[in-house]
Amino acid sequence: MAQLLGFVLLSAFITGILLIPFIDFLYKMKFRRVKQKTVDMFNKPTPNFDKFNNCKAGTPFGGGILIILVVCILTFWSYGILNVALKGWQAIAIMLTFVGFGILGFYDDLRKLVNGHGGFFGLRFRHKFVIQWILAFAVASILYFHLGYTFIFIRGFGLASLGFMFIPFAAFVIVAFANAFNIADGLDGLSSGLMLICLAAFLAITSKQLDHPLGIFIAILMGSVGAFLYFNIYKARIWLGDVGALSLGAVLGVIGLLTGKIIALAFIGGVFVIEIASSLAQIISKKFFHKKIFLASPLHLLLRRIGWDEPKIVMRAWLLGFLFAVIGLYIAFI
């Protein structure tokens, strides 16, 4: 555990040192939010989102790029110097998720900059959603065919074998958490703070399971996200962007799958689950019943709509995330 904590500190130090020049670089490249009218997946206006976010125009986004670079380099460097008995396909599954979803998110960030219509930058939501599923099925296939994952652990029942159905199940977990994280990434420090809590919980789980390679990756990712959070809390100097949101959410789902603690994952990432559930409920209601359930969605946007201050929402979400993580750890360890 001491070694893993050392990697947390090393990653946090390196990311923290690089973030200041990286923020300056994003400003020079004009990689920052501009005021615009956004739309949802059905091409409908989202006035509530614009109301509370267009005031932040000018803040650079793309912090996920630095996180991905630092974490990938440090992870493979650490595996090399420690001569870790690396499970090759496990590393491939993690990095394919982390980098693959990051690239897809980077496309979304570029599209925001050019406000693209037509051509490559004209991909619709459903096209990007299909790409997410292709990536997720590729990772799930690696877990099934090369790592032998066919089961989920359910307390009171033991290991429940899903057989070949593990592949679509795992793909669903990955896509769900990628989008849940992306949806939650709407307030300064909200999603990155919750991710830090989730990673701390899974670091404890992997330490108990003695899965050293996965523990090293989680520790390095934890340090990098923690350093980023310093610059991301209200008022944020930098945002993750979709490049960070999609990659972090998807890799959180893969970490849950690799540890075999899917039920625990649902609790440890409970705030993300609530966020996407509230958004889905609103979407389904508008699509099929032509009316809203909430004044706004997801949950953090509803709380802003009814008058809660942004820091108040974030602090309480972190507290709720901590409580969910404790419940998740209790389920994982009993």
pLDDT tens sequence across 95-108:
999 999 999 999 88
pLDDT-based confidence at 46, cuts 50/70/90?
Answer: low
| Other C-beta atoms lying within 10 Å of the C-beta of residue 211 | 17
Average pLDDT over residues 101-122: 72
Query: In the predicted model, is pLDDT for residue 45 greater than 60?
Result: no
Q: What does the pLDDT read at residue 116?
A: 46
Query: In the predicted model, is pLDDT for residue 58 greater than 90?
Result: no
Query: In the predicted model, is pLDDT for residue 52 greater than 60?
Result: no
Q: What domain range is 272 assigned to?
A: 2-333
Average pLDDT over residues 248-255: 97
Query: In the predicted model, is pLDDT for residue 305 greater than 70?
Result: yes
Average pLDDT over residues 232-243: 93
Average pLDDT over residues 197-203: 97
Q: Which residues are CB-contacts of 79 (< 8 A; sequence separation ≥ 6)?
A: 86, 91, 213, 216
Q: Are 275 and 299 in contact (CB under 8 A)?
A: yes
Count of structural domains, the chain: 1
Q: What share of the chain has pLDDT > 90, as a percent?
A: 63
Give the separation between CA 155 and CA 165, rounded to whole angstroms.
20
Q: What does the pLDDT read at residue 87?
A: 67
Q: What share of the chain has pLDDT > 70, as a percent?
A: 87
